[in-house]
Amino acid sequence: MERSVVIDSTSSEKYMRVASISIAFYDYILTLPAEWRFYRSQPSLFHISLSCVLFILIRYVSIVTIVVSNYGYFSTNFTQHACQQYYLAAPIFKVVQTMISQVILGVRTFNVARRNRRIGIALLLIYFFLVSVEWFTDISQRAPVVINGNCTSADAGKTLSTWFFYLAAMVYDIVVVMVSTMHLLYYDPLSSRCARSLLIHNSC
C-alpha cells in the first residue's frame, strides 16, 4: 500500500513538472512579439531602462531555473559524485529568481509610495534581511539524493529549513503588498489636474 502511494506521488510530481514546463514554454512563445516591441522601445542597446533590465533578468533567470531543476529531476545518468557537484544548482537559482522578483515588487512599491525615502530605506533593510534568511534556509542542511539516476536535494536536518525559505518570501510579499495598498487607499484621485478641471469646468 505504501509503495503504491509513493509511486502515485512520484507520478503526480512528474505530471505537474511536465505541465508547468509546457505552460512556461507556451507563455514564452506567446509573449515573444511583446518582448521584441519592448526592446525596440528602448533608447539604445547601451541605455536600457531599469524596468527592461528587471524584465530580462526575471524572464531568463526563470527559464534557467526551470531547466536546471528539471534536468536534475528527469536525468537518469547521475552518479553520487556528479550529484554531489550539481545538487545545489537548483536551490541557488531558485533563490536568485526569488531575489529578482522581490526587487521588482520593491521598486513598484517604492514608486507607489511616491519614492518616499524612509519607506525606500525600510524596504531595503527588510529585503536584505529576508534575502539573508532565504539564502541560509534554502542552502543549509541540504543533501544530494540520487534515485534511478535522478539528482535532487533534500533537507538533511531535523527541521524542514525549506519551509522557512518560503515563509520569508511570503513575509516580504505581504509587507510590500500592504505598503502598496495603504498608499493606494490614501491616494487622492482629485489631486490630479484632470480631476480639478472636472470640478471647475465639468470637462477634461
Whether residue 185 is contained in a domain is answered as: yes
Q: DSSP for 135-169? A: HHHHHTTEEEEEETTEEEEEE-SSS-HHHHHHHHH
How far apart are the C-alpha atoms of 117 and 123, rounded to whole Å?
10
**For 18-25, what is the mean pLDDT?**
93
Does residue 56 fall inside a structural domain? no
Report if residue 12 sits inside a domain.
no
Phi and psi, residue 159, nearest 5°: -100, 145
∠73-9-167 over CA atoms, to 5°?
75
Residue 119: inside a domain, yes or no?
Answer: yes
- pLDDT tens for residues 110-123? 999 999 999 999 99
Residue 120 resides in a domain = yes
If pLDDT is split at 50, 70 and 90, which confidence band does 148 have? confident
* pTM over 0.85, yes/no: no
Which residues does 187 contact at the CB level (< 8 Å), separation at least 6? none
Of 67, 65, 85, 61, give the one whose Cα is nearest residue 151. Answer: 85
pLDDT of residue 199: 43
In a domain, 90, yes or no: yes
* Per-residue model confidence as pLDDT tens digits over 72-99: 888 888 998 999 999 999 999 999 999 9
Hey, which residues does 155 pair with through a beta bridge?
142
47 belongs to a structural domain: no
Expressed as residue numbers, the domain containing 171 is 76-189
Q: Taking a C-beta distance cutoff of 8 angstroms, is the pair 61, 97 a contact? A: yes
| pLDDT of 102 above 90 | yes
Q: What is the mean pLDDT of residues 12-30?
A: 91
Say if CB 156 and CB 143 are below 8 A apart. Answer: yes
State the cell numbers at 54. 528587471
Domain-located, residue 22? no
Q: Residue 3: which pLDDT band, with cuts at 50, 70 and 90?
A: very low
